[in-house]
């Protein structure tokens, strides 16, 4: 089931619009559907990244742990 669509008007540089038309045609879909797919993928990637970041930050520190995260220098053994 396709969700309700909203019309949106955008301006593109000529070379971008040309590329977009060709790519949509290669995929046998409309330019609108192609742009929608690209944006959905971008949204999903962003959501996945944010979820992974939250999981990583929720972990307890490890190795030289004194309750804090290592600095970049400490993590790479670049102590001054």
Q: Is the pLDDT of residue 78 over 70?
A: no
Higher per-residue pLDDT: 11 or 65: 11
Query: Which positions ≥6 away from 21 have C-beta within 8 Å?
Result: 31
Give me the number of domains the chain comprises: 1
Q: Is 7 a member of any domain? A: no
In a domain, 8, yes or no: no
Note whether residue 24 is domain-resident.
Answer: yes
Q: Which range, 38-42, 61-65, 72-76, has the best average confidence (pLDDT)?
A: 38-42
For the residues 7-29, what does the mean pLDDT come to? 97
Going by C-alpha positions, the residue among 54, 74, 76 that lies closest to residue 65 is: 74
Residue 4 domain-assigned (yes or no): no
- Structural domain for 54, as ranges: 14-75
Question: Taking 80 as the threshold, does the pLDDT of residue 71 lie above it?
Answer: no
């Amino acid at each position: 089931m396709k969700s309700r669509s909203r019309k949106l008007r955008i301006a593109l540089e000529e070379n971008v619009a040309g590329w977009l038309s060709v790519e949509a045609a290669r995929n046998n879909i409309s330019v609108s559907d192609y742009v929608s797919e690209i944006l959905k993928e971008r949204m999903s990637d962003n959501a996945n990244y944010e979820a992974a970041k939250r999981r990583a930050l929720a972990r307890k520190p490890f190795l030289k742990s004194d309750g804090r995260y290592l600095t970049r220098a400490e993590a790479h053994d670049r102590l001054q």
